[in-house]
Amino acid sequence: MEWRGRRGSRNIEDRRRMGGGRGAGIGGAGVIVVLLLGWFLGVDVTPLLQDQGGFQTESPAELTAEDRAMGEFVSVTLADTEEVWAEVFASQLGQAYRPATLVLFKGYTQSACGGASEATGPFYCPVDRKVYLDTAFFTLLAERMGAGGDFAAAYVVAHEVGHHVQNELGILEETSRLRAQSDEVTANQISVRVELMADCLAGVWAHQAAASFGSIERGDVEEAMNAAARIGDDTLQREAGRRPVPDSFTHGSSDQRMRWFAAGQASGEIGDCDTFRVAQP
């Protein structure tokens, strides 16, 4: 992905110097298991890491050269999503797009939806309309989960911005209401459809970005597909030493995540991302 020297977004809130770096506590493999459990169960496991000295939330953080480079990368990627979704909203929906703010943090910070940490992974908070991201997640994705590459990281950003698109369209509010009225299994199924839609919207972004900026290079889409596969619920559950239980899925299987990203990437049409119109997503 060609990103260096390109325009960055003004909608970045950088909190990385505010502290919250991870300490020595649980060993490396133990941290990975705890994080995987948190991601596929949909819970914040920060307290488990804190109990083991896993987070230090008060000392100021120093930014490394890699931190600065990843911050610039995220800023350019976010700027691309802003241009793409402004055009898609105008041409396909006849609406104006209001961009999200992306919060960069290191270790731990607060959001309007609760604590944001390495343990929660990247997420979108519809209350304050912000994406929260610790770029250390990209290192984890590459080194521990086998999903490296700058476009794999771009896919993660585009997926979270996809949730903002859903929020702009009123989808998150409606699905949150439905989940609150449902039993656990049904609520999980609704969550899966929401997440797969965000994957598809990330694919729409990839399609439009390729056409608009020419920034996507050979192998980039494969990197995104590999990342989608590596963070499927079934794969995460196996990596955490558990048998995959479909009723507990909240984001979709690896196959589903790849299929829906590919669907959006193939057409570039937001209308092709309606995961609620199909019997089985």
Summarize pLDDT for 67-81 with one digit per residue, the tens.
Answer: 888 899 999 999 999
Q: Which residue has the tokens 């990247």?
A: 122
Average pLDDT of every residue of the chain: 84
**What span, in angstroms and rounded, lies between the C-alpha atoms of 264 and 232?**
17
Report which of 154, 131, 129 is spatially closest to residue 141, judged by C-alpha positions: 154
Q: Which residue has the higher pLDDT, 220 or 249?
A: 249
Q: What is the largest CA-CA distance in the chain?
A: 52
**127-175 pLDDT, tens digit each:** 999 999 998 888 888 887 777 778 889 999 999 999 999 999 999 999 9
Give the pLDDT mean for 230-251.
Answer: 91
What are residue 109's DSSP bridge partners?
A: 116
* Count of alpha carbons within 13 angstroms of residue 29, beta-carbon side: 2
Q: Can you read off the two tokens belonging to residue 34?
A: 């705890």
Q: Determine the angle formed by the axes of helices 171-180 and 184-213, rounding to 10 degrees.
A: 170
Query: Can you read off the two tokens belonging to residue 206?
Result: 């990839």
Q: How far is Cα 206 from Cα 268, in angstroms, rounded to an integer? A: 8
HSE-CB at 186 with a 13 A cutoff on CA atoms is 9
| Region 97-114 average pLDDT | 94
Residue 122 has pLDDT above 80, yes or no: yes
- Rounded (10°) CA dihedral 142, 148, 149, 151: -100
